[in-house]
A and B are shown apart, each in its own frame.
Chain A
Amino acid sequence: MKRELLKFLAFSVFVLLLPLLFEGGYLMNVLVFVGINTMLAIALNLLLGYAGQISLGHAGFFGLGAYLSGVLTATYGWNPWQAMPVAAIVVGCMAYLIGFPVLKLKGHYLAMATLGLGIIIYIVFNETIDLTGGPSGLSGIPNLEAGGVVFDSDVKNYYLIWGITLAVILFAINLANSRVGRALRAVHDSEVAAQVVGVNARLLKVQIFALSAVISSLAGSLYAHTMTFISPASFGFNFSVELLTMVVIGGLGSVYGSFLGAALLTLLPEFLRAAQDYDIIIYGGLLVVMVMFMPGGLVRGVPDLFRRIFKSRGGAGHA
Chain B
Amino acid sequence: MQFDQILQYVLSGLSTGAIYALIGIGFSIIYNATGIINFAQGEFVMLGGLLTLTCLDLLKLPIWAAIPCAVAVSTLAGLLFERLAIRPLRQPTPINLVIITIGGSILIRGLAMLIWGKDTHAIPSFSGDDPIAIGGATMLPQHLWIFAITVVIIVINKFYFYHTISGKAMRACAYNRRAAGLVGIDVRRMVLFSFMISSAMGAVAGIIVAPLTMTAYDVGVMLGLKGFCAAIIGGMSSGMATVVGGLLLGVLESLGAGLISSGYKDAIAFIILLLILFIRPQGLFGKADSERV
Contacts and interface: CB of A to CB of B under 8 A. Distances in A.
Q: Real complex partners, A and B?
A: yes
Contacts of B267: 119-120, 123-124, 127
Interface residues of B, number: 47
A123 B277 contact: no
Given A278-B113, A288-B85, A291-B89, A54 B104 contact: no
A120 B106 contact: no
A48 B91 CA distance: 16
Interface string B104-134: 1111111101100010000000000000000
B263 A115 contact: no
Main secondary structure of the interface of A (DSSP, over half): helix
Interface string A102-115: 10111111011101
Nearest to A107: B94
A244 B99 contact: yes
Interface in B268-293: 270-271, 273-274, 277-278, 281, 292-293
A48 B105 CA distance: 21
Contacts of A286: 103
B292 A127 contact: no
A220 interface: no
B261 interface: yes
A70 interface: no
B36 A108 contact: yes
A119 B225 CA distance: 10
B89 A292 contact: yes
B182 interface: no
A54 B106 contact: no
Interface residues of A, number: 42
B98 A105 contact: no
Nearest to A134: B263
A245 B99 CA distance: 8
Interface string B73-97: 0000000000001001111001111
A248 B267 CA distance: 29
Interface string A154-198: 000000000000000000000000000000000000000000000
Given A108-B36, A284-B107, A284-B109, A127 B99 contact: no
Nearest to A108: B37
A54 B281 contact: no
Interface string A242-281: 0011001000000000000000000000000000011011
B99 A281 contact: no
Interface string A35-57: 00000000000001000101010
A98 B51 CA distance: 41
Interface string A235-246: 001000100110
Contacts of A109: 37, 277, 281, 292-293
A281 B110 contact: yes
A189 to B, nearest CB: 12
Contacts of B281: 105, 109
A287 B98 contact: no
B4 interface: no
A126 interface: yes
Contacts, number: 130
Given A277-B113, A278-B114, A112 B232 contact: yes
A112 B95 contact: no
B271 A120 contact: yes
A284 B228 contact: no
Given A105-B281, A116-B274, A288-B100, A127 B261 contact: yes
Contacts of A280: 106, 109-110, 113
Contacts of A120: 267, 270-271, 274
Interface in B198-247: 221, 225, 228, 232
A285 interface: yes
A285 B103 CA distance: 7
B104 A284 contact: yes
B293 A119 contact: no
A76 B98 CA distance: 41
A14 B52 CA distance: 54
B102 interface: yes
Contact of A283 (B106, B225, B266, B277): B106
A233 B271 CA distance: 21
Contacts of A113: 273-274, 277-278
A261 to B, nearest CB: 13
18 contacts: A56-B98, A104-B293, A107-B98, A108-B31, A109-B37, A109-B293, A111-B39, A111-B98, A112-B37, A112-B273, A117-B270, A120-B267, A124-B267, A237-B221, A241-B102, A277-B118, A281-B110, A286-B103
Interface of B: 31, 36-37, 39, 85, 88-91, 94-100, 102-111, 113-114, 118, 221, 225, 228, 232, 261, 263-264, 266-267, 270-271, 273-274, 277-278, 281, 292-293
Given A123-B267, A291-B103, 7 more contacts: A119-B225, A119-B267, A120-B271, A127-B261, A241-B102, A281-B111, A291-B89
